[in-house]
Each structure stands twice: as structure tokens, then as C-alpha cells.
Amino acid sequence: MATITFKGSPVRTDGNLPAVGSVAPGFSLTGGNLQEVTLSDFKGKKVVLNIFPSVDTGVCAASVRAFNKSAASLQDAVVLCISRDLPFALSRFCGAEGLSGVVTLSEYKNDAFSKAYGVRMAEGPLEGLLSRAVVVVGTDGRVVYTEQVPEIAQEPDYAAALKALA
């Protein structure tokens, strides 16, 4: 389990991020069109998993905007923005913001993704939601970068995540 904070108060997650160098765990999440999306759908591409509690918070929205802005210049890479928000909320947000460079995915149907990636908050006010984390998967399907953001109200290190794509 990882220990992070929410506005300074300690919060445990139910696991740890996959180790750098390990094979990224496969997953099945729900896309904006309510269709199943899997990690294997992006085989051969570099994949940024932008994981967050809810797009309806300022920091989460900022991370989706920031990765969308960066995604326009990425070659053979895709950014997957993952939360437990309903697909409708994720689509509404991206539509209202004019964001088209990211793929939004929801874990609302089951919790296999958060178990495999160790990102479900096990306690605190946001218990049951996903912690803020970034995982970068290389074209070979191996994890090349991880960041469990230590404070939920803090943005991830975008530059480090994007550098890992190089």
C-alpha cells in the first residue's frame, strides 16, 4: 500500500503502482461511447495513463487539459485519462473544454483496473476513488515511468511523464 495525503491528511491506497520494467497489467475500461477499451487496443504505441479521482475537481481537470495540450505533439503515443467518473461526465467535460487529444476511460463497471494498478484509495474522504498517478507504458508493453502523486491536491510532474515517452 502507498500512503499519500489529501489536504495534508494521510490516506492509504489499496496497493502500489506496477514496478518500472514490469509488464503493464492489462485492463478493460469503459470509453465515452460505452464500449470496452483495453490496454491491448493500443499495442505498439506509447501509452500515458493519467489516473485521477474525478474530472469534476480543479486539479483533475487541469491534468486532463495539460495532457491534452501535450498530446497534440506526441508521435505514436496516446494519453488515457482514467477515473471512476461516469463516461457521460468525462465526455461532457471534454466536449465543453474542446479537448480531443486524450481518450477518457471509466472504471465504473468494475474495480479490476484499480486493483491491478494499486490506485484505489482505501480510506479518507475520497475512499473508493482513484488516487492521482501517472504510468507510462512503452511500445513493448512494459512500464517505463510511474508517479504516485504524494498529495491528491497536487498536479503530476507532466515534464517527467512526457520525457519518459522519448
For residue 116, give the DSSP letter: H
Cα–Cα distance for residue pair 101/128, rounded to 1 Å: 28
CA distance 135 to 106: 16
Among residues 84, 19, 85, 73, the alpha carbon closest in space to that of 46 is found at 73
Q: How far apart are CA 107 and CA 73, in angstroms?
A: 27
60 is an active site residue:
yes
In angstroms, rounded to a whole number, what is the distance separating the alpha carbons of residues 164 and 106? 24
**Are the CB atoms for 48 and 160 separated by under 8 Å?**
no
The residue from 11, 17, 60, 134 that is catalytic is 60
Catalytic residue list:
60
